[in-house]
Amino acid sequence: MLMEALEILVFALLGIPVFVFGLYGIIALYYGKIKRNRFHYGGEGSINAKFEPSVSVVVPTHNEELIVSKKLENLVASDYPKDKLEIVFVDDSSDSTPERIGEFSKKFANVRLIRFSERMGYSPSMIAGCQAAKGEIVILNDAGSFIDAQAIRNLVSHFQDPSVGLVTGKAVIMNLDETAGKSESLYERILSFLRTAETRMDSTFYIKGEATAVRKDLIKDLDMCSETFDTTAGLFVRQKGYKAIYDSNVKFYEYAPATHSGRIKQKTIRATNLIRALLRFRHMIFKHEYGKYGSIVLPMNFGMLIVAPLSIFAALVFLVPLTFLNLGLSTILWTVVGLAVLFCIVFFRNLLLTFIELEYSLLKALFQVVFTKKGFDKIEKVPSTRRP
């Protein structure tokens, strides 16, 4: 009796991630490859190349003296009218970062500094910056990333469509000569495809705070955030009935962590915040008023981020006692798993490594959410992602 129950349990647990990834993979392929409906700005002929609303770029900084000068130069070089662009730094550093920003603000009138004497963290800094911003459109940006010269213009152009509330962009990894950089680049390509498919469905769940634009009016009442501000902003905007879309033409450049341990740390931080945001807005799941975002995007991401890693872990745990109770069946299962891993090592090594890192990071993140309650809002950066 016990053996039969374990057999059913193991097969069911192994089947859950196959079902979740398989189903969402098919849905993403349909919207990403077959249904190529382009996102319009409110109809044919309505695109205005001179659409230039006022914009505020908000950048939270904490001890960024190594790269802040490079960051400032990157932002002021943007191809957007300087009289319609302000750059707001929200700083809580204990090094020379605020002094360097202050020196730069003397040369460029559109550079502002909001200074805090105590450690605020990412989300409180973003909230303070967004509240102080003067622009109609607020662009969330990260000190460790560098936006393309056309990024702001490309982000802003989407707001000609009144249904769009938020636009997010694409990461381009710069250290492709490193193994971890290649792996991260592969992950970003897969994520880019998924975000494109989600945008064509309705809205994307994955918001990149390194380059995201949002209508200020839509987030003026977002004054508290215990998760990461960028993902929360996307959910907050969609909750109000506006789209949160992805544009692969909006590019920002960043370094991936130099080591796999650094990548796991980074992904664990991101995953913890994603899961917390998903749980906070769980009331949107399977609600028809949020369109395909509520009926497909959020449920599938709940399955991938929470259900699938737990199912894989539980299947491996229960497979151990089953090995002693039914050696024949367990040998077949272990052989299938081993051959699948070997096949991936030979032909898809980077993909396998990326998948293992992701699932491990998700399990660590779930542990943080359930047991330790540890917060990751204090801009816990991986040092190797900051390179002058």
Condensed to tens digits (0 to 9), the pLDDT of residues 269-280 reads 899 999 999 999
| For residue 70, pLDDT beyond 90 | yes
pTM here is 0.89
Task: Name the nearest CA neighbour of 256 among 188, 357, 344.
Answer: 188
Tell me what the pLDDT averaged over the chain comes to: 88
94-116 average pLDDT score: 93
Domains in the chain, please, with CATH?
1-388 (3.90.550.10)
At residue 234, what is the residue type?
G
Is the model more confident about 235 or about 1?
235
Q: Judging by DSSP bridges, how do beta strands 164-173 and 111-115 pair with one another?
A: unpaired
Is the model more confident about 342 or about 58?
58
220-224 average pLDDT score: 89
Q: Look at residue 225 in the predicted model and tell me its pLDDT.
A: 84
Q: With pLDDT > 70 as the criterion, what percentage of the chain qualifies?
A: 90
- Rg (alpha carbons) of the chain, rounded to whole number: 22
| For residue 40, pLDDT beyond 60 | no
Task: Name the nearest CA neighbour of 289 among 218, 245, 246, 238.
Answer: 238
- DSSP state letter for 1: -
365-374 average pLDDT score: 82
- How far apart, in whole angstroms, are the C-alpha atoms of residue 297 and residue 293? 5
Q: Look at residue 43 in the predicted model and tell me its pLDDT.
A: 39
- The C-alpha angle with vertex 78 and arms to 74 and 80, in degrees rounded to 5, equals 160
Task: Name the nearest CA neighbour of 90 among 136, 121, 54.
Answer: 121
Tens digit of pLDDT for each residue in 128-185? 999 999 999 999 999 999 999 999 999 999 999 999 999 999 999 999 988 888 888 9
Q: pLDDT grade, residue 10 (50/70/90)?
A: confident
CA distances from 38 to 47, 271, 383 (A): 13, 30, 39
Q: Look at residue 347 in the predicted model and tell me its pLDDT.
A: 65
Starting from the edge strand earliest in sequence, which strands make up the sheet with 85-91, in order?
Answer: 111-115, 85-91, 55-61, 137-141, 211-215, 164-173, 243-254, 146-147
Q: Look at residue 180 in the predicted model and tell me its pLDDT.
A: 82
CB-based contacts of 285, cutoff 8 Å, min separation 6: 294, 298, 299, 302
Tens digit of pLDDT for each residue in 240-285? 999 999 999 999 999 999 888 888 888 998 999 999 999 999 999 9
| For residue 18, pLDDT beyond 70 | yes
217-236 burial, b for 16+ CB within 10 Å, e for fewer? ebbeebeebebbbbbbbbbb
In this structure, how many other beta carbons lie within 10 angstroms of the beta carbon of residue 291?
Answer: 16
In this structure, how many other beta carbons lie within 10 angstroms of the beta carbon of residue 118?
Answer: 5
Q: Look at residue 41 in the predicted model and tell me its pLDDT.
A: 40
| For residue 375, pLDDT beyond 90 | no
Q: Look at residue 203 in the predicted model and tell me its pLDDT.
A: 97
Structure tokens at 63: 């001890």
| For residue 314, pLDDT beyond 80 | yes
Q: Look at residue 44 in the predicted model and tell me its pLDDT.
A: 39
For residue 96, the Cα-to-chain-centroid distance in whole angstroms is: 29
Hey, which bits of 156-219 come out as E strands? 164-173, 211-215
Q: pLDDT grade, residue 315 (50/70/90)?
A: confident
Tens digit of pLDDT for each residue in 44-64? 334 566 899 999 999 999 999
Tens digit of pLDDT for each residue in 195-216? 999 999 999 999 999 999 999 9
Q: Judging by DSSP bridges, how do beta strands 146-147 and 85-91 pair with one another?
A: unpaired
Q: Look at residue 388 in the predicted model and tell me its pLDDT.
A: 79
